[in-house]
Amino acid sequence: AQKVTQAQTEISVVEKEDVTLDCVYETRDTTYYLFWYKQPPSGELVFLIRRNSFDEQNEISGRYSWNFQKSTSSFNFTITASQVVDSAVYFCALSDTSNYQLIWGAGTKLIIKP
Amino acid sequence: GAGVSQSPSNKVTEKGKDVELRCDPISGHTALYWYRQSLGQGLEFLIYFQGNSAPDKSGLPSDRFSAERTGGSVSTLTIQRTQQEDSAVYLCASSLAHGQGKADTQYFGPGTRLTVL
């Protein structure tokens, strides 16, 4: 069965600290996609990144970076030099090509204190 | 371009009344999804539309819930005889397609916050 685990329910750090959000997934499929979404207090889900199972290169976008490791079934998300505006709930999700439903993690609430 | 839009943004209704929630997907997106998110919870899949195919209604929690998609574009989610447990944020998403070896990114609307008194 497919499953996404975000073990960190809530993380609180002081501004400018680096923070890593963990995501561990389970799937039997060889072709699958992983996603991260951000949900700020306003409520709208904002797409951050999509990665397919054949691309294990890490990705960096500004202060955001993602570490995809198939060997440990993890797709972790790091925010460098965090800012108050990064405060949100972050969701990791999994999709395979046969089932259009996204399998969602429970989300990690990130609190950045000034 | 315009993103996914939903209306109304907020809806307060009395128990037992019917409500309709509307979703306008991104132009050109053939796949449309409805989700429900209760306070502090993750997303619960409700229904999926893909082109002209029959929708996947497997996530609808009861027969009081129904949805339609007219002309392959706008979708309406209807909840009949609302109950207090229906109170949640209803999110709509659209994507280019799914299947054929791809899983396109779902883009979400701002949601409709439904409160049943």
> Could you tell me the residue range of the domain that residue A78 belongs to?
3-113
Two structure tokens written together for A101: 């439903």
> Could you tell me the residue range of the domain that residue B37 belongs to?
5-100
Mean pLDDT, residues A89-103: 84
Give the span between the Cα atoms of B78 and B42, in whole angstroms: 21
Give the span between the Cα atoms of A3 and B48, in whole angstroms: 20
Q: What's the confidence (pLDDT) of residue B103?
A: 67
> Among A40, A36, A39, which residue's Cα sits nearest to residue A74?
A36
For an interface test with A, the pick among B4, B6, B92, B106 (most A C-beta atoms closer than 10 Å) comes out as: B106
pLDDT digits (tens, 9 = 90+) for B23-42: 999 998 989 999 999 987 88
Rounded to 5°, the CA angle B51-B56-B61 comes to 140
DSSP E strand boundaries for chain B: 5-7, 10-13, 19-24, 31-37, 43-50, 65-69, 75-79, 88-95, 98-99, 102-103, 107-108, 112-116
Question: Per the domain annotation, does B112 fall within a domain?
Answer: no
Q: Considering Cα of B76, then B96, then B58, then B116, what sign does the dihedral take?
A: negative
Closest chain A CA to residue B55:
A100
- DSSP labels, A37-53: EEE-TT---EEEEEEET
Question: Per the domain annotation, does B67 fall within a domain?
Answer: yes
pLDDT above 90 covers what percent of chain B? 67
Nearest chain A Cα distance for residue B14, angstroms: 23
> Among B111, B38, B45, B106, which residue's Cα sits nearest to residue A44?
B111
Q: How many domains does chain B have?
A: 1
Residue A106's CATH number:
2.60.40.10
State whether residue B103 sits within 8 Å of chain A by CB. Answer: yes
DSSP, collapsed to helix, strand or coil, labels residue B115 as strand
Q: What's the confidence (pLDDT) of residue A3?
A: 92
Residue B71's CATH number:
2.60.40.10
Mean pLDDT, residues B71-76: 89
Question: Per the domain annotation, does B58 fall within a domain?
Answer: yes
Question: Per the domain annotation, does B114 fall within a domain?
Answer: no
pLDDT band at A82; cut points 50, 70, 90? very high
pLDDT digits (tens, 9 = 90+) for A41-77: 988 899 999 998 988 888 888 999 999 999 999 999 9
Residues from chain A that touch B5, judged by Cβ atoms under 8 A, are: none
CA A77 to chain CA centroid, nearest Å: 5
Q: Is the pLDDT of residue B1 over 70?
A: no
pLDDT band at A114; cut points 50, 70, 90? very high
Residue B39 Cα distances to A41, A51, B113, angstroms: 12, 28, 10
DSSP, collapsed to helix, strand or coil, labels residue A68 as strand
Q: Which amino acid is at A68?
A: F
Q: What's the confidence (pLDDT) of residue A59?
A: 86
Cβ <8 Å between A42 and B110: yes
Give the span between the Cα atoms of B2 and A67, in whole angstroms: 31
Residues from chain A that touch B112, judged by Cβ atoms under 8 A, are: none
Q: What's the confidence (pLDDT) of residue B71?
A: 80
Two structure tokens written together for B104: 């396109």
Question: Per the domain annotation, does B51 fall within a domain?
Answer: yes
Q: What's the confidence (pLDDT) of residue A89?
A: 96
Q: How many domains does chain A have?
A: 1
Counting one residue from chain A and one from chain B, the pairs whose CB atoms sit within 8 A come to 54
pLDDT digits (tens, 9 = 90+) for A11-48: 999 999 999 999 999 998 888 999 999 999 988 899 99
Q: Is the pLDDT of residue B3 over 90?
A: yes
Nearest chain B Cα distance for residue A57, angstroms: 19
